Amino acid sequence: MNSNAAAIDTRPFRAPASGTQPDNDTPGYGSTHRRHPMQAAIAIPHTITETSGPRFSPTQYPPVADLSVVDGHAAMGERIIVRGRITDEDGRPVPHTMIEIWQANAAGRYQHPSDQHDAPLDPHFRGEGRVFTDEGGCYEFVTIKPGAYPWRNHPNAWRPNHIHFSYFGPAFATRLITQMYFPGDPLLALDPVFDAVADAAARDRLIAAFDIGVTRPEWALGYRFDVVLRGRAATPMGH
């Protein structure tokens, strides 16, 4: 029996707003065809299992906040700074939460054996990072702007430039995996992964903002990517 149960905030989280989350049954994205459930998901009340979640310490999960240098050597490509703030749906900061980051290199190739795109690997770019938010929910890391790459989903299919993100937040229910895109990318309108989000405003929030205030003079351009994790519902349910 979980003796900490009384100390855990067991208030449930809000249901997703209509159209703001993608449907797993998205025919334009070929990999969904045999991987999306046919049966409707069954709604369950939020119990301690859903309202509590893992806590990660930088001691056990060491941060890597600069992806642009490996073994003292600078990676090839356009160095960028990504800064952002994580809040819940009510605008409250999410402090001390772990963020995982991974991405392709500047040429559009991942340091991964199954990526066989005819583009060079960079021995000085691994493409993995890990940072934690501060007390105010803010995070920052340095990387290389990832390249676009072909992915054979349909004829002449190219993924827009993107960085993958994994967020945890306070609970199992706040877990989020997403991708950050870049402003003005002409491939966005052609991308079935990005376009799987029906709500245009929700889609647009996946695009980072160029921010001259984040830019460091003579060194790197800056982008801002703010993220919202689910917030607690006003009234309890299932109790």
Partner 1 sequence: MSVTPATASQTIGPYWALIEHKEMADLTRFGAAGERVVLTGRVTDGDGAPVTDAAIELWQSDPPASEHFPGWGRCGTNAQGRYSFTTLRPGPVPGPGNRLQAPHFAISILARGILATLCTRAYLAGERLNEDDPVLALVEDPARRATLIAHESGAGTWELDIRLQGADETVFFAI
Enumerate the active-site residues.
Answer: 110, 149, 159, 162, 164
Residue whose C-alpha is closest to residue 46's, from 12, 89, 2? 12
* Strand-strand pairing, 149-150 and 221-224: unpaired
Q: Minimum CB separation from partner 1 for residue 201, in Å?
A: 9
Q: Minimum CB separation from partner 1 for residue 104, in Å?
A: 8
Choice between 5 and 74, CB closer to partner 1: 5
* Helix or strand (DSSP H, E) at 203: helix 200-204
Instruction: Determine phi and psi for 201, rounding to 5 degrees.
Output: -70, -40
Q: Which residues contact 18 (CB under 8 A, 6 or more apart)?
A: 199
Choice between 153 and 215, CB closer to partner 1: 153
> CA dihedral in degrees (206, 210, 214, 216; nearest 10)?
130
Choice between 53 and 215, CB closer to partner 1: 53
For the beta carbon of residue 99, count every other beta carbon within 10 angstroms. 21
Choice between 41 and 189, CB closer to partner 1: 41
Tokens of 98: 């772990």
Choice between 80 and 165, CB closer to partner 1: 165
Q: Minimum CB separation from partner 1 for residue 196, in Å?
A: 5
What is the widest separation between alpha-carbon atoms in the chain? 57
Q: Minimum CB separation from partner 1 for residue 61, in Å?
A: 9
Amino acid letter for position 183: P
* Pair 105, 75: CB distance under 8 Å: yes
Q: Minimum CB separation from partner 1 for residue 83, in Å?
A: 16
Measure the CA–CA gap between 43 and 54, rounded to whole angstroms: 22
